[in-house]
């Protein structure tokens, strides 16, 4: 048995983040990753042809931009370990089939000028909305990268001021309700709501309103970005940091179980029987639905509540293409945004009917987004060539046939989405496509069976009852497993939610607090 201070199950970006902070604190850390490569949902690989670098899951990094890990460069990822972000002036654009465009520029004034062209009233309303959103960001974002508040304390605290009561109200509403309250133009409503649904949220699901309120503020305050070289460069930088601080990352190391002795997590056992002792703690990227499989010693009531966690209503069928030449938007490539929504519906009612199909197990080829990653980062492909990353919202439980029918039907579904993409791009023809790979909701689950259950790449649903100290459950929401001392959790199903947050920072804070280590002092230390 090999001995370490901390052993980590799972080399996704959250596990790597927690490991990097613990290694910087002087702990001997080992990360064990099941796959041949680390990164989890934050990985970039040559999936189809050499020289074409595709993001396997995450593509655009938004929420991590407020994380002190980057803002204060606490781990040296930016200054020492090679991470570089690309920030375009146009973070978000919606393009309609008839050439209509709504653009959210990083510059608020420029954005409002364009909105005024179709709705002067909404231009003024949007300015006030975005300013309120930006004003709320410091308070709201400060809680995203640290251990969450208990739900009761959070609600009580928010209920003490007008600002807090406003945010509490928004958090419990739907995104649809929020945009309907503030804007009169369906174009602007569609523009905002369609972006919010990228978080695998239905427009009318209660508890999704905070996304509609916060996203404009984030766009204008922080922008949207992707790492130069691909999403996986964040994971590479984290591994460089871990190794610099004396830690190890080992791939092709599938964990069978957490070793528990005397009610304490003492290590990890691999499927081949090899074991690793952890003196101070174990970190696990373990979805609540499979907690029983890896930690059967967990108290039964905790397991039962974990197995009732709600997954997101839908997933994605993801199209990867290699292109002989870069894509050209019919409206002109100056409208390429970091997030580009492609729409042929002009009313909220029409769009909502498409989302309703997802609830019934059907795919809507009209619910698409995506673009050519080489527009912003030519290093991702050979000179002049392109890489297409295309998202088509899709249910995990496909009708008819269920999840098991995805292998047979994913190419057909992708064909319909491709026909839809061609309404917006002038050169997305067969003769420009040199390679193709389709990843269905079931493929996402296979890729990460301990995190992306039912194809939910965001871990679990982002509803209000699965937020702050109740994400994913009241038992597990504080990053520990009750009844199992020294076992800590990371992953998209934990606070603050799915997507690229660098949320392992919160787990590291909790661990250091339990070990009487001064987190601020660790972060204040320069990276030598």
At 154-172, the pLDDT tens digits run 999 999 999 899 999 999 9
What is the number of domains present in the chain? Answer: 1
Residues 490-502 have pLDDT tens digits of 999 999 998 999 9
This prediction has a pTM of 0.97
| Mean pLDDT of the residues in the chain | 96
**Which pLDDT band, with edges at 50, 70 and 90, does 1 fall under?**
confident
User: What does the alpha-carbon distance between residue 451 and residue 439 come to, in Å, rounded to a whole number?
Assistant: 16
Average pLDDT score over residue span 236-256: 98
Give the pair of three-digit tokens for residue 486. 């020294």
Q: What pLDDT does 116 receive?
A: 98
CATH number, residue 286:
3.50.50.60
Domain that holds residue 253: 2-44+232-309+449-524
User: What does the alpha-carbon distance between residue 279 and residue 25 come to, in Å, rounded to a whole number?
Assistant: 15
Average pLDDT score over residue span 191-206: 94
Residue 460 lies in a domain: yes
Residues 384-442 have pLDDT tens digits of 999 999 999 999 999 999 999 999 999 999 999 999 999 999 999 999 999 999 999 99
Residue 467 lies in a domain: yes
The torsion defined by the Cα of 210, 216, 222 and 227, in degrees rounded to 10, comes to 90
Average pLDDT score over residue span 250-278: 98
Give the pair of three-digit tokens for residue 75. 């781990």
User: What does the alpha-carbon distance between residue 454 and residue 59 come to, in Å, rounded to a whole number?
Assistant: 20
Residue 297 lies in a domain: yes
> Is pLDDT above 90 for 447?
yes
Put residue 468 in one of left, alpha, beta given phi > 0 → left and psi -120 to 50 → alpha: left
Average pLDDT score over residue span 202-217: 94
- Strands 368-372 and 275-284 turn out to be unpaired
Report the 3 state secondary structure along 178-205: HHHHHCCCHHHHHHHHHHHHHHCCCCCC
Q: Are 413 and 419 in contact (CB under 8 A)?
A: no
**Which pLDDT band, with edges at 50, 70 and 90, does 526 fall under?**
confident
> Which of 322, 237, 249 has the alpha carbon at shortest distance from 29?
249
Q: Are 327 and 386 in contact (CB under 8 A)?
A: yes
Give the pair of three-digit tokens for residue 504. 């392992």
What are the angstrom distances between the C-alpha of 423 and each of 22, 211, 321, 341, 417?
A: 49, 29, 17, 13, 10
Residue 239 lies in a domain: yes
Phi and psi angles of residue 215, each rounded to the nearest 5 degrees, phi first: -60, -45
Residue 184 lies in a domain: no
Q: What pLDDT does 142 receive?
A: 81
Give the pair of three-digit tokens for residue 32. 């064990």
Residue 400 three-state SS: coil
- Strands 29-32 and 248-250 turn out to be parallel
> Is pLDDT above 80 for 528?
no
Residues 79-137 have pLDDT tens digits of 999 999 999 999 999 999 999 999 999 999 999 999 999 999 999 999 999 999 999 99
Q: What pLDDT does 425 receive?
A: 98
Average pLDDT score over residue span 137-146: 88
């Amino acid at each position: 048995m090999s001995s370490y201070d901390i052993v980590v199950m799972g080399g996704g970006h959250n596990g790597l983040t927690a490991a990097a902070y613990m290694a910087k604190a002087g702990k001997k850390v080992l990360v064990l990753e099941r796959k041949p490569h680390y990164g989890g949902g934050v990985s970039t690989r040559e999936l189809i042809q050499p020289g074409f670098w595709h993001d396997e899951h995450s593509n655009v990094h938004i929420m991590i931009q407020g994380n002190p890990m980057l803002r204060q460069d606490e781990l040296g990822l930016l200054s020492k370990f090679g991470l570089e972000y690309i920030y375009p002036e146009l973070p978000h654009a919606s393009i309609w089939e008839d050439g209509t465009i709504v653009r959210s520029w990083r510059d608020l004034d420029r954005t409002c000028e364009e909105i005024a062209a179709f709705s002067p009233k909404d231009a003024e309303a949007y300015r006030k909305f975005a300013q309120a959103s930006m004003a709320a960001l410091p308070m709201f974002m400060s809680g995203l990268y640290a251990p969450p508040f208990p739900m009761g304390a959070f609600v009580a605290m928010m209920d003490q001021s007008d600002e807090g009561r406003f945010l509490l109200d928004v958090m419990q509403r739907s995104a649809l309700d929020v945009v309907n309250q503030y804007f009169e133009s369906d174009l602007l409503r569609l523009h905002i709501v369609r972006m919010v649904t990228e978080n695998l949220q239905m427009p009318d699901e209660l508890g999704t309103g905070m996304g509609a309120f916060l996203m404009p503020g984030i766009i204008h305050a922080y922008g949207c970005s992707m790492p130069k070289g691909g999403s996986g460069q964040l994971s590479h930088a984290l591994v460089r940091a871990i190794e610099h601080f004396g830690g190890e990352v080992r791939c092709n190391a599938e964990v069978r179980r957490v070793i528990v002795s005397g009610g304490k997590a003492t290590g990890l056992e691999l499927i081949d029987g090899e074991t690793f002792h952890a003196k101070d703690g174990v970190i696990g990227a373990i979805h609540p639905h499979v907690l029983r499989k890896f930690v059967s010693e967990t108290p039964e009531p905790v397991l039962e509540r974990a197995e009732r966690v709600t997954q997101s209503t839908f997933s994605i069928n993801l199209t990867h293409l290699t292109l002989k030449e870069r894509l050209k938007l019919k409206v002109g490539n100056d409208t390429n945004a970091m997030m580009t929504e492609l729409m042929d519906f002009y009313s909220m009612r029409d769009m909502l009917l498409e989302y309703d199909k997802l609830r019934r197990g059907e795919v809507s080829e009209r619910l698409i987004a995506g673009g050519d990653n080489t527009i912003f980062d030519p290093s991702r492909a050979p000179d002049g060539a392109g890489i297409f990353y295309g998202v088509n919202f899709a249910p995990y439980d496909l009708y008819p046939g269920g999840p098991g029918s995805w292998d047979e039907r994913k190419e057909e579904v992708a064909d319909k989405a491709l026909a839809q993409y061609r309404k917006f791009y002038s050169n997305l023809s067969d003769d420009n496509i040199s390679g193709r790979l389709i990843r269905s909701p079931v493929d996402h689950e296979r890729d990460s069976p301990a995190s992306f259950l039912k194809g939910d790449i965001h871990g679990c649903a982002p509803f209000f009852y699965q937020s702050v100290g109740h994400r994913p459950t009241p038992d597990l929401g504080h990053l520990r497993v009750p009844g199992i001392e020294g076992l800590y959790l990371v992953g998209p199903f934990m606070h603050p939610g799915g997507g690229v947050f660098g949320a392992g920072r919160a787990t590291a804070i909790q661990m250091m607090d339990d070990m009487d280590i001064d987190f601020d002092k660790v972060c204040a230390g320069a990276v030598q």
